[in-house]
Structure 1
Amino acid sequence: MTDTTSKAKQLTGFKHTKPGLMVGLGGSAWGAFGIVKDIRKARAEGDTLKLVNAAVGALALVTATALLVRELRRLGDDDILLG
């Protein structure tokens, strides 16, 4: 196995670790700023299509955040120290 292959295998599981999920939550929080900006801009321009697009993006962001929180809770359930 080459050195890059072993590093790739190590990183594939990172998404399902507590730090990986925290990075995902941070990305979701950062994305919220962009969505708020898009909603304000669409309202100012009176562009209904852009407003609908921003609302759908917000819904997707809420769903992704809920999935990340659920995964964090599952990781917490497996932790012996948390009870």
Structure 2
Amino acid sequence: MSTTLAKAKGFKKSKAGTYLSIGTTAFGAVTVYKQAKKARNEHDMLKLADAVVSAAAIVTGLAILYRELKRMGDDDVLLG
């Protein structure tokens, strides 16, 4: 395994990598919000259901990332 690849895998499991993952996941919430708003305006229940499921996935993903930060020993994360 190359050192660059090893560093990238190490970053993913670091606090900085986890914070970056939280940021990108939260940014996805903006897209889902826009999707839900458009679906409501168009009265498209299938697209709205898709947005709701996507929102649930984002919430779950953020919860998993938060738990990972807590396991790393960062006690002051998100008022925790």
Query: Which category of TM-score, normalised to the shorter sequence, fits these structures?
Result: 0.7 to 0.9
Kindly tell me the number of residue pairs found equivalent between the two proteins: 74
Any stretches of 5+ residues in structure 1 without a counterpart? 78-83
Cα distance in structure 2, aligned partners of 1:40 and 1:61: 17
The 5 A counterparts of 1:1-83 are: 5-76=2-73
Query: Which structure's CA Rg is the greater one?
Result: 1
Any stretches of 5+ residues in structure 2 without a counterpart? 75-80
2:20 partner amino acid:
V
Cα RMSD between the aligned structures? 1.2
TM-score using structure 2 length? 0.87
TM-score using structure 1 length? 0.84
Q: Deviations over 1:39-76 (max 9, x none)?
A: 00000000000000000000000000000000000001
Misfit runs of 4+, over 6 Å: none
Q: How far did residue 28 of structure 1 move?
A: 1.3
Match of 2:78 in 1: none
Instruction: State the identity %.
Output: 45
1:65 partner amino acid:
L
